[in-house]
């Protein structure tokens, strides 16, 4: 069983996120572009602070709330060092094909959910720029829908390996993985009983169900995927998409606890396993369902935000959702964290509606998703890693 540290999570949560959580005013929006130096040289794998990092980089264009502005994340992805592996996560906001699934009807009819070609093209352009070698995805209708998208829009990108399994969601959405490396294992647990996780809620700060009813199952079962590169490097992923919306804090907490139990069982057998829990957590770092992953002690999981490319960049640089919240994460086992390249974590911005736009307002040109993709680079060569 995981042991949780009786400590403040502040060392692992970026200061900008704490400002968000506490409701304090945010600094002016600054979207960090790719500088000429970054285009030529990858971010250094060092913990020392560059001399030019005393203040955020000046953007080439000033972002604003005009329709279609890139107001969150970076305007360009970080360069990827040859020979490294880029791991990424992306909620693609209801990627549905044009096939009518008879199992999705009535309240959850899928025939009206077909993703329009212009948004598929925008998603594909984002994925191409991201250049992830292993891409975890959420809100995929099915493996068939993902394969159709790949074959129609992602040709030539090397995503020969696909995993996507029904997760038990009534709308039909599930988690998936696109990989340039062979997938040697894929499974999930849609029927897992999570009611026994209530007993693990010790101490203060836990939520209770707003309707008094405890969830019996995940909203969407995590997807476990294991990939193996040609050089023998292996990577295990728990792709999660916890329950959304206000009033479901208690469900997200027990979903997180059950996920941690599965993770702990694997790491007990192999403490050195390269393992990541990543995806859409539908909560910010101040929520208990996220703190669960920040406060583990044995083993201590690490947050990819600790490797962010510019630690003192404004809040918007690392927010991942259209509502200006950081709710997408990559948490890593000790073994995997050793392989991460310092200052390689980033959020890639895409065009969004104005900050306070109505949810049903028309989307701007180039709109891909209500989430921004996140990524971190891994040094998989043991000799280079030292």
Nearest residue to 218 via CA among 199, 192, 244:
192
Question: Is the predicted pLDDT of residue 15 greater than 70, yes or no?
Answer: no
- pLDDT category of residue 361 using cuts at 50, 70 and 90: confident
**Which domains are delineated in the chain?**
84-385 (3.60.10.10)
State residue 322's pLDDT score.
96
Q: Is the pLDDT of residue 46 over 90?
A: no
When mean pLDDT is compared over 27-41, 130-144, 203-217, the highest value belongs to 130-144
Q: Are strands 328-332 and 302-303 parallel, antiparallel or unpaired?
A: antiparallel
Do 352 and 70 form a contact (C-beta atoms < 8 A)? yes
Query: What tokens does 226 get?
Result: 């294991």
Band the pLDDT of 35: cuts 50, 70, 90: very low
Res 112: pLDDT: 76
Cis amide linkage into residue 299, ω under 30° from 0: yes
Confidence check: pLDDT of 341 > 70: yes
What percent of the chain clears pLDDT 90, i.e. is strictly above it?
A: 69
Strand order in the sheet with 234-241: 183-188, 223-228, 234-241, 275-280, 328-332, 302-303
* Distance between CA atoms of residues 322 and 366, nearest Å: 14
Indicate whether 142 pLDDT > 70: yes
176: β partners: 137, 164
CB 246 within 8 A of CB 209: no
| Confidence band, pLDDT 50/70/90 cuts, at residue 176 | very high
**What's the rounded mean pLDDT across residues 263-278?**
96
Coil, helix or strand for 97?
coil
Rounded mean pLDDT, 138-162: 97
In this prediction, residues 321-347 reach a mean pLDDT of 97
d(CA 212, CA 202): 18
């Amino acid at each position: 069983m995981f042991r949780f540290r009786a400590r403040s999570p502040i060392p692992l949560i970026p200061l900008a996120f704490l400002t968000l959580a506490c409701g304090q005013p945010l600094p002016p929006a600054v979207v960090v572009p790719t500088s000429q130096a970054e285009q030529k040289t990858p971010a250094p794998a060092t913990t020392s602070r560059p001399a030019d990092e005393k203040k955020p980089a000046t953007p080439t264009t000033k972002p604003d709330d005009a329709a279609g502005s890139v107001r969150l994340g970076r305007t360009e992805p970080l360069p990827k060092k040859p020979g490294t592996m880029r791991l990424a996560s992306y909620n693609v906001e209801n990627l549905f094909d044009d096939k009518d699934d008879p199992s999705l009807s009535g309240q959850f009819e899928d025939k009206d959910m077909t993703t329009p070609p212009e948004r598929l093209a925008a998603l594909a352009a984002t994925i191409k720029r991201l250049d992830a070698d292993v891409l975890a995805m959420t809100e995929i209708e099915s493996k068939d829908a993902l394969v159709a998208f790949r074959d129609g829009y992602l040709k030539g990108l090397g995503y020969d390996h696909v995993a996507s399994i029904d997760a038990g969601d009534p709308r039909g959405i599930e988690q998936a993985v696109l990989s340039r490396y062979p997938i040697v294992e894929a499974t999930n647990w849609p029927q897992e009983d999570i009611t026994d996780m209530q007993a693990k809620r010790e101490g203060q700060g836990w939520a209770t169900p707003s309707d008094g009813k405890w969830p019996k199952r995940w909203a969407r079962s995590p997807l476990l995927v294991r990939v193996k590169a040609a050089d023998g490097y292996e990577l295990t992923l728990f792709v999660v998409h916890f329950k959304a919306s206000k009033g479901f804090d208690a469900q997200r907490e027990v979903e997180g606890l059950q996920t941690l139990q599965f993770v702990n069982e694997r790491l007990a057998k192999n403490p050195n396993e390269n393992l990541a829990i990543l995806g859409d957590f539908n909560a910010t770092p101040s929520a208990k369902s996220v703190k669960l992953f920040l406060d583990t002690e044995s083993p201590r999981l690490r947050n990819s935000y600790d490797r962010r490319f510019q630690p003192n960049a404004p809040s918007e640089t690392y927010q991942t959702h259209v509502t200006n919240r950081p709710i997408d994460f990559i948490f890593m086992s000790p073994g995997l964290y050793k392989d991460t390249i310092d200052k390689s974590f980033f959020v890639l911005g895409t065009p969004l509606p104005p900050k306070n736009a109505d949810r049903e307002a028309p989307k701007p040109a180039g709109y891909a998703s209500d989430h921004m993709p996140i990524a971190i680079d891994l040094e998989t060569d043991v000799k280079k890693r030292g």
